[in-house]
Every structure is written in structure tokens, then in C-alpha cells.
Structure 1
């Protein structure tokens, strides 16, 4: 059948993948399945319910929810009725919620649980456009989302022909969703994405990955994010069974329970998984510990093309037998590949996972490109180069502008920013090229390599450009460093704020019988400062003279999406961090009262 709109996936599932386990969720400790028939029928009832309540094409409904089958049902129900879905992250601040809910013109808000209901109901009551707030979970005396599906079921006969007519009139170029960017700087903008944006991306990616009907997929990235949204459509297109993780803390457990075949992730999750693996290695003793860390060093030298000497191959065979085989078991034993997006992935981690027999494939895209522009894959020769984001996908064009910015054109480009012609015109030029804001280059005229965000690059006072992400990613290769932010705009030299990997640092301190009351005291100890200086010295040798970090400061507070230092996709929110650590940055550069204005724009 022809698939041109997101809801065409439902008919495709019904005809070709009529399975009992298309969508799965854990309820009261047990996995509960939603069959292809359940999915199709309930989505239609949701559509009928919307029509019965007077919704028409172009109206908006917002959702703030965890990943769950009901989200998909509501999403498909909206799409069939021509209603535009506005999915919102569950981890943003109240000001952002108020902005998005008002700006989007959403008429209804559906939230997942009581905590979000209690938080967002007062905000919704301040807004004239929000008529009702419902929940996906059931609570006494609180409107439940099933009231819409029940109303639809009761009115099915009355609206069956109407819905058929509306579905036929929906064009692939109609807007199906407005996704608000995560807002690393300023208030988020509403990205208008069409059916064709998503479906063109799904079809272009479908042939690149070894996905089979019935494959078990674990979904844990926010489905409100464009990356997880698109791959959810991709998995449905292929007839996979999608299991929604209970939360980020249960990923490992859920992976083993379902024996996952694949999943999508962001680098921060992979980094945390790797940190836990290293911590377990630190608990080993004697020969076992030596073999463990020798295997890691060996894995970091892995080459995907297999051009290793026989001695390396023999050692890798032993490493896989003794160490890396346990990695596969930790993922459930059936994992065939992992796709990472959303931020830069350390090449070292890709090599390690490949060495362990788990292909870790990096891709690249933006919300505005729905999202994939390029991705590494294994479907054909010469389609993977570790350290790049892979070849550009089919139907997508890419060129590098004179200043190094990546430009792209094709069916994946958004329709524009909602109610924002000015910003739309700034990023999509008169020839249809979207300006990504990322700096990069094409290697061998095939593989796209991202070097930094154009807006995040800065000049030192000597006029030298610094690309902070490259240095930050390098620093995070250290076992000791969890996060880092490079600073130094308009200053004589670059410096860094460093959040230690306290799990590893505690083990290191314990082995040396270093006593401390808390993390604040730990990072102030001279022994710890010297150890981090060794790490900085090691990485400075890999940097150009003007890029080298002359100073650093350790910080002890966690950087999370909940506390605001990271975006919902776990990228640094630099403006928040600059403000939070303004005093420390002033100390790094030894501002006195007369000098303070030099960097004032950075701290306001």
C-alpha cells in the first residue's frame, strides 16, 4: 500500500503486521500488549471523539507525557482528524510550558500523571485557549483521556463517513505536528512538520537498518522529541514490537527482560552505561581487573574495516570471550545495533561497542529536518566511518557553505516556524536551503563530519576561534570527567568548568584512603586537583596551542534536565551554566571591579 501520511502506517500495520504486540507497556510489574487491532480501532475512536467534540482540521492538542501506547493512539487519532499534535517535554520549566501552551493555540492538554496535572492545571487555567486538561492515567474525579475515545465509540456511526472524507482530503504536505525546540537559548520555537517530512525520513532510513517484523525495540528517549518520534514511526513501518521503558532508571532491566534487538539513544545515555561498566571493572581485583582494562584499551583501537594485524585479532578474540561477551548479556543477549543521535558521540565509544560486537551507529539531524540528514549504517559497503555522522540519506541534499556551515535541502525540511516568518526566513534561504547552524565538512565527498555549533564557537581576545564541543567531547573521554563546558570568549585563554564523574572519583579516592565529608570537600582537596590537572595536561597535548585549557574549576552540583543545566535531549544549556557559575568564571579570569564589564554579557 502507499504510505504518504503518518496515519497510513496504521493501515500498513493492519495489512502486513497484524500482530498482538505492536505496542507494549509495563503496568503493575507486567508487560501489557496493545495489538495491531487495538491500536487501529482505538485511534479511530479517538478521531470520532474529536469530531464529536467539534474539533476541525488545523486545531491543536498538546500532550505532556512519558512514552506509552496511549500517546501513539492519541497521535494517530489526531492525525486522521487533521488535528495538529503539539507534544511537549515533561521536564521543562513553568515559563516554557506557559509559552508553548499559549503560543501553540492548543485547545486541550493531555498529561500522563497526577504530578503533571497538578503542576500544569493552574498554568492552563490562566490561558484562554486551553479548554480542558485530561490525564492518561486514571484518577478519581479528574477528566480521563478515554472520555474522548468513549464519545467516539458512541458516535462512530455518525462520524464514520465524515472521517473518511477528512482523511482523503489530508495532504502529505499538511502540518501534522508542531514540535517546540528544546530551547538551549531563549524560548523555544514551534517547528511545523508535515506528514511528508516524517514519512520521507522513515522511508529513507528504512532500508539502512536490519529491522525485521517482530523485532523487540526498547523505547526510552522522550517520544515528544523528533528523533524518538520518527524512529517510532520507523519501527511501526517495519512491524516491530515497541516496548516502552518504565523510566530511565529501568533501561538495563527492561533491556534484559525483553531481550531487545535495537534501540535509539543519545550519547549521554551511552556515556552513563559505559561509566557503570567501568565502575564494575573497578570492583574487580588482580588478573581479572587487568584483563578488563586491557580489553577496554584494545577496544578503543578497533577499526570497523577489519584491517587489523593477526596479533590484534587474536587479542580481540580473547577480549570478546572474557570481557565483551558480558556486555552483550547485560543488554539482553540479542542486541543487533544501536543508533545514537541528538549530540556528538565520542568516537572512542563507537569503537568500543563495535569491538564488543554491538554496532553503535551515529547519525545527525535537527528538529527542523524531521530529523535525519545523515547516518552511519551497515546496509552496504562504505557506509560507515567512525568519527563522522555517516553518509547523507536518500532524497536529502547537503552542501558546505563558505563559512563551513552545513546547509541541507529536501523533503525533510520543515514547513517553517509557527507564527514566526522572520526566523523562518533567517534559516531557510530563497533557494530552499536550510541553514543548520552547525559547522562541518564532507570527508571523501561522502561522510559528513560535524565540528561544532556555529553559534557556540567563540573568539579569544587574540582573535582565535575555539570550537567548545570538540574539546568538551574529548574531555569526557576521561574516566574522571562526566561533563565539561569550555569558556573564554573575548578572554586571553580558554578554560573549563568540569563536573567530575563522582562514581569513579569515589572509587579512586577510596583506593587511596582519601577521606572526605562530601563532594564539595572532595573536589577541593589538593590531591584531587592535581589528578584533574593531569587529565587536562593529557588532553592539552592533543589540542592546538590556542585551544589548550589554561585553567579549570571543578564543580560538585549535578547537571540535569530537571535542574535546568541540560536540555531535555541532554545537551548543555550554556546560558544557564554561565549564569549559575558566573562567580567562578569571574574568578578564573580574575576580574576586578573595573574589569568586570568585559564579560558581562556572558553572565547576565
Structure 2
């Protein structure tokens, strides 16, 4: 059961009197916390660190189910239902694994660095991930998450930058690490979360485990599996080394789209303050399921919840959700968009009577929502929406979306379709992903809510982008965040730390927003030419443009477009006539020559030419090492060049991105419409 406090929707945050200065708004705080920000957990003020938090939960909820996963039967080659381990059982495993890590480092590796070293963790969410991280908290180590989307170069950089001697990873990453070991000279040991038992499929053959271990020996790297480390710990138990609240708990690296990744130093105080601010306004009782994300996991742990992990295959995610039947479901817009498309196709876009009834039902419930009458309807829920709710297991009470914006129509449709609270959060890695959230009974979409109980926000002028706090009807500017959730700084990077957090503790988010007369914030732009796709991936369009320009001689000018409501990129290209014309003529059999602008424009509109050109861009992207989400999916060829005269280039011949975007808005919208029309609705 989830219980929300009720707040005044008409005045959600208040500008603290006397805090305005030239070029900035005053400090906005949640209307109920104007007199002070939340830093400590009200009902458990003794909790200062993640170690304290977990010990508190083990004491209170020891026999309660905690971490769950779906085991794979290698004989039947099928997954079973969820199996669970209790808080007490996980505590025993953390004790054992953490002790085993200390034994490995000090005795087997003989590492002189006896404490405060960094442990890399490279895997999708699973019980072993949580155990690995919590082991760091037991023995005052620093956890470092290695994300798949960073790419191999970034992983190698982080391992060296964070001075990681030991990495715990899923089995599929062991060979990758060994293959690239020469680029990570400080790496001393790899621990596989998956078993490396010496099973030999063919008599006389060498097992894969022995091959991996032998390969590791050649590289000077010890290879173990998770069970072996736990066994070390059981045999050689260690006394805990509890951390202090201001010590770094984790290094969380950015995606590095404008250079090398930066390691945000997140302290134990940051984590505890995040739990404290999330507790205010939301009380969670009874277990929750399928909760992912480290902030969500930490809040769930404190509340005595159940955390269920999916199998790791996104294509099977909906099956796992229906098996798990969550009550609280944190997710991202990309998945909600898939669910929305499928439900819309089977209801309001369905033919005949089903479509007619669905359209009436949806219209009725949306009208009620917009009138502030809630998300339930006695007739239409029974006839239609109770069936729709089963797509998420039928028990969801709260659906939380974050990491990227979500379309207004999708947000409100989810509210009335699943008959539950749908909230949208906003934050930055450097601020523990905690800044604002929409209130539980909010019915107006299109904003990210008001400041959390532990945060205050101000807007600061960005004159070079014409965003000013004196703008009408609402002040606009860069969002700055302050509170106990703001990070300590970037690891080994004082310059970027100074550029990001000022002397008064204000974190510059890089996001442009405005605050309305209800005290709600809306994100409208980025201070730099970086944006997120719907799935949360950061995009640096200029980097992509430079790679494509350098590797495809058909391009004269190029502009890559995308936004946080789409999961793919599109591009506008002005072709280089000297190379493009022979290329296009060969495809079409035409004989257009240089200077024939009419013929050139006709070739730009030819579908076969477009398809072939797009393949050339794919080749250039592959050669340039672009990641999957950085490839463009549609292209508009044009002879309408970017010039200083038409305002699409600066006098120094740099592309004016807002002007190009505005000029080609119709074509960009048409490309996305074509993508949507040709993409089948995802299966639930």
C-alpha cells in the first residue's frame, strides 16, 4: 500500500522572501518546507550512512522477502517463477562476500592499498549487483558502476581513472575484460557473477572455466566466481569497517559525450539525504516489486520492500512484469511509449464497436481527470480498464517515470488507463537524481513538479540563449539545485567541479526551465548542444556530425536532430554536388551535371537515392565508432544550404542549431512521422 500526503496543487513551491539577486530568481522550496530543507530521515535520525540504513532494515525486516530473481533451469532450458531471499539471508551473503573481497585484496593479491579502494561492478541489475555494492558499504570501499552504454573505450578509461583493482561482472563480460586487459594495467582480479564451475561437456576437453582462468594467468589477472569469494569470506570472516557520512560511497561516471566520462563522487550523506527527501510526502507500506535504479533500491531497502530483478532481456521484460505483479513501478518514457502504442492500437484505434466504446471511455476519463475528479470510473474501469491494468500485473498503485521527458498525452493516458498515480521526476546524477517531482494527485501534465523536501531551486539568466528571469509570463533560466543531495565533486577533476558547483553549493544543471505561478518547473532546453533521447541516452549531435562529415565524402553540410520524446535521430543533409551527382546518377541512370540545380533537387527527392545515401551514412558511422543510438534513422536531402545570409550559419561558419531546426521543422516532423508509421507496435 502506498500512502501520499496531500498538498495544495495551486501553490506547490514558494520563492523564499529576500533571496533574489540580480540575474537570478529567489530560492524556490516545496511549500511545506519553506523554513528548512530535509537532510535526515525523520523516523530514523540515527541513520547516517548506507551501512546504518541496511543494518536498520535487517533488524526491522530480517525475515521479510527482499531480493528476487527468476532462476534458469539449464536442463529444461526454462526460467522458473521468482525466488526470494530475505533481508537476513542477504545480510549473511554481504558479510561473506565483503569478507571475501578483503581477503582477496590483502592476502591473494597482496595489495598494499588495504582500504578505500574501488570495486568495479559491470552487469545488469541482479541480486549479486546489490550484494557487491552493499559489501562496499560494510568495508568502506568505493563502488563504481560500469554501464554497457559507455562503450569499451570508456570502460577502459574508468577502470584506470578510478584505479579499480577488482571488477565483479556478469559472465558475458569476463572475456571482454581479459581481451582488453593490456589497456587496464591496474586490474588484478575479475569475479564472475555467473558460475565458473569446471563442467566439461565432452570427455577429455578443457572446460571454458579453465580456459578463462588460464587466459587470466597469462594477463596477470586472477579469475574467480561469486561463490568462491563468498567461500573465502565464510572461511576468513572480517570485522566490519563502517564508513563516515561524508566519505564517498560510489563513483558514478557520466556518459562522456563531450569528452572523457566524469566520475561524480556520491557520499553516504548524499544517499541518506535522498531517502530522507523521498520519505517526505510518500509513505510506502508492504513490499514493492521490480524496483530498479540505485536511488529506488536504497529507498526500497529502507522501507522493507521487495526488489525483483528482470532476466536481462528487454524483449522479455513485460513477461517478467506480469510474473512479478509490482505495486510500485519506476520506469522510463521509452517503455511507456511502447505500452501506450500497443494499448492505443487495441483500443481507441480498433475498428468497429470496440474502437467506438474505447474512444468514449477514454474521453470520459480524460475529461474527469482534467476536471480534478481522479483516475477512476465505476463503469469504464469494470468494462475496459481493469483488463488493461493486467499488462503490468494488475496491482500497480504508483508509476514513476524519469530520466527523460514524456509526452503530455502519454502521461495522462497512463493515469486513466492504469487507474493509478503517475508521477514524473527530474534530477541530475550530480544531485542523486533528486530535484523535483509531480505531486500524487496532479492532473495537469507537461511539467516536472515542484522541488523535493530536501532541495531548493533557483533559475539563473542565460543571456546568450535569451533566457532571462525577467521574462514574461514566467521567469526562465538555467536550473540550479542545492541541498544535501548535491554531490561532493568530480573525482580527480577540480576544474569541472568548480564549473558545476559554486562556492555556495549550487549545482548548475545545464537544463533550461521556467517556473509557473503554481510553483511548478518545466524543462524547455539545454544550455549546451546536448540532449537526451527518450531512453535516456545523451546525444552530442556535433560529435556525430563531425564523424559523418569526416567519413562520407557525399556530405557538404549536415545537421543531426533529435529530442527527448523520440528514441532515434534524424538528419538534414546538403549533398556535395561533385561527389553526390556521380553517386546518384549511377543509381537512377540519369545524367545530371554540375550546375543543373533543378536536376540536383530532383535527385535529392528520389527515394532510391535517399536509401542508398542513408546506407553510406551507416557505413561512416560504423567506421567512426558510433554507438547504436547515435545512428540516424531517416534523412532529408536538400539543396537549401546553411548560409550566413539565411541566418543558419554564424560569421565564423558554425551552424546555428536553433535556426536550422526551425527552418527544417516540417521536414523533421515528417521524418519522425514516417518512423512511427513504419514501426510496429511493441508486443506486451
**Alignment TM class, shorter chain as reference:** 0.7 to 0.9
Task: State the secondary structure of the residue aligned to 1:237.
Answer: helix
Q: CA deviation at 1:587?
A: 3.5
> Does the aligned pair in 1 maintain the 2:116–2:140 contact within 8 Å?
yes
Q: What is the rounded CA distance, in whole Å, between the counterparts of 2:501 and 2:445 in structure 1?
A: 30
Alignment-derived partner of residue 364 in structure 1: 426
For the pair 1:185 / 2:243, whether they are aligned, the reply is no
For the pair 1:138 / 2:192, whether they are aligned, the reply is no
- Paired residue for 1:387, among 446, 450, 469? 446
- Cα distance change on mapping 1:299 and 1:112 into 2, 3 Å: farther
Alignment-derived partner of residue 564 in structure 1: 627
1:309-334 deviations in whole A, cap 9, x for unaligned? xxx99xx6544333322221221111
> Does the aligned pair in 1 maintain the 2:348–2:356 contact within 8 Å?
no
1:285-324 deviations in whole A, cap 9, x for unaligned? 311123234444555556366259xxx99xx654433332
Highest relative contact order (Cα 8 Å, sep 6+), 1 or 2? Answer: 2
- Cα distance change on mapping 1:360 and 1:483 into 2, 3 Å: farther
Task: State the secondary structure of the residue aligned to 1:133.
Answer: strand
- Paired residue for 1:260, among 319, 326, 346? 326
Q: CA deviation at 1:197?
A: 0.6
TM-score by length of 1: 0.73
> Does the aligned pair in 2 maintain the 1:259–1:331 contact within 8 Å?
yes
> Does the aligned pair in 1 maintain the 2:265–2:487 contact within 8 Å?
yes
Q: What is the rounded CA distance, in whole Å, between the counterparts of 2:266 and 2:195 in structure 1?
A: 31
Alignment-derived partner of residue 13 in structure 1: 57
Q: What is the rounded CA distance, in whole Å, between the counterparts of 2:267 and 2:91 in structure 1?
A: 21
Alignment-derived partner of residue 436 in structure 1: 509
Q: What is the rounded CA distance, in whole Å, between the counterparts of 1:565 and 1:295 in structure 2?
A: 39
- Cα distance change on mapping 1:261 and 1:371 into 2, 3 Å: same
Q: Map of 1:129-528 to 2, 5 A cutoff?
A: 129-139=186-196, 140-141=209-210, 142=212, 143-156=224-237, 159-160=238-239, 163=240, 166-167=241-242, 170-213=243-286, 215-219=287-291, 228-247=293-312, 248-281=314-347, 284-297=350-363, 303=369, 306=372, 318-356=379-417, 357-378=419-440, 385-403=444-462, 404-444=477-517, 446-456=519-529, 472=563, 483=568, 524=607
Q: What is the rounded CA distance, in whole Å, between the counterparts of 2:530 and 2:253 in structure 1?
A: 24
Q: Bigger radius of gyration, 1 or 2?
A: 2
Q: CA deviation at 1:599?
A: 5.4
TM-score by length of 2: 0.65
1:236-291 deviations in whole A, cap 9, x for unaligned? 11111111011322222122212210111111111111122233348843111232
- Cα distance change on mapping 1:318 and 1:436 into 2, 3 Å: same
Q: What is the rounded CA distance, in whole Å, between the counterparts of 1:240 and 1:435 in structure 2?
A: 34
Is there any run of 5+ residues in structure 1 with no aligned partner, and where? Answer: 222-227, 459-467, 489-522, 530-552, 567-575
Q: What is the rounded CA distance, in whole Å, between the counterparts of 1:457 and 1:100 in structure 2?
A: 22
Q: What is the rounded CA distance, in whole Å, between the counterparts of 1:237 and 1:102 in structure 2?
A: 33
RMSD of aligned Cα (Å)? 3.7
How many residue pairs align between the two structures? 489
Alignment-derived partner of residue 93 in structure 1: 151
Alignment-derived partner of residue 84 in structure 2: 33
Is there any run of 5+ residues in structure 2 with no aligned partner, and where? Answer: 1-43, 73-78, 107-112, 197-208, 213-223, 463-476, 532-558, 574-605, 658-684
> Does the aligned pair in 1 maintain the 2:67–2:86 contact within 8 Å?
yes
Q: What is the rounded CA distance, in whole Å, between the counterparts of 1:426 and 1:588 in structure 2?
A: 41
Task: State the secondary structure of the residue aligned to 1:276.
Answer: helix
> Does the aligned pair in 2 maintain the 1:217–1:261 contact within 8 Å?
yes
> Does the aligned pair in 2 maintain the 1:364–1:374 contact within 8 Å?
yes
Q: What is the rounded CA distance, in whole Å, between the counterparts of 1:344 and 1:317 in structure 2?
A: 31
Q: What is the rounded CA distance, in whole Å, between the counterparts of 1:252 and 1:371 in structure 2?
A: 25
Q: What is the rounded CA distance, in whole Å, between the counterparts of 2:446 and 2:522 in structure 1?
A: 7
1:16-47 deviations in whole A, cap 9, x for unaligned? 11234200011122222121111111111222
- Cα distance change on mapping 1:299 and 1:483 into 2, 3 Å: farther
> Does the aligned pair in 2 maintain the 1:377–1:384 contact within 8 Å?
no
Task: State the secondary structure of the residue aligned to 1:216.
Answer: coil
Task: State the secondary structure of the residue aligned to 2:282.
Answer: coil
- Cα distance change on mapping 1:563 and 1:352 into 2, 3 Å: farther
> Does the aligned pair in 1 maintain the 2:164–2:186 contact within 8 Å?
yes
Q: CA deviation at 1:444?
A: 2.6
Question: Could you tell which deviates more after superposition, 355-364 or 202-211?
Answer: 202-211
Question: Could you tell which deviates more after superposition, 433-442 or 90-99?
Answer: 90-99
1:556-591 deviations in whole A, cap 9, x for unaligned? 99x9xx97254xxxxxxxxx45xx58x946647447
Question: Could you tell which deviates more after superposition, 358-367 or 3-12?
Answer: 3-12
> Does the aligned pair in 2 maintain the 1:406–1:437 contact within 8 Å?
yes
> Does the aligned pair in 1 maintain the 2:64–2:304 contact within 8 Å?
no
1:72-121 deviations in whole A, cap 9, x for unaligned? 1111111121110001112332111111111111111111123x212222
Q: What is the rounded CA distance, in whole Å, between the counterparts of 2:101 and 2:449 in structure 1?
A: 42
Q: CA deviation at 1:355?
A: 1.6
Alignment-derived partner of residue 127 in structure 1: 184
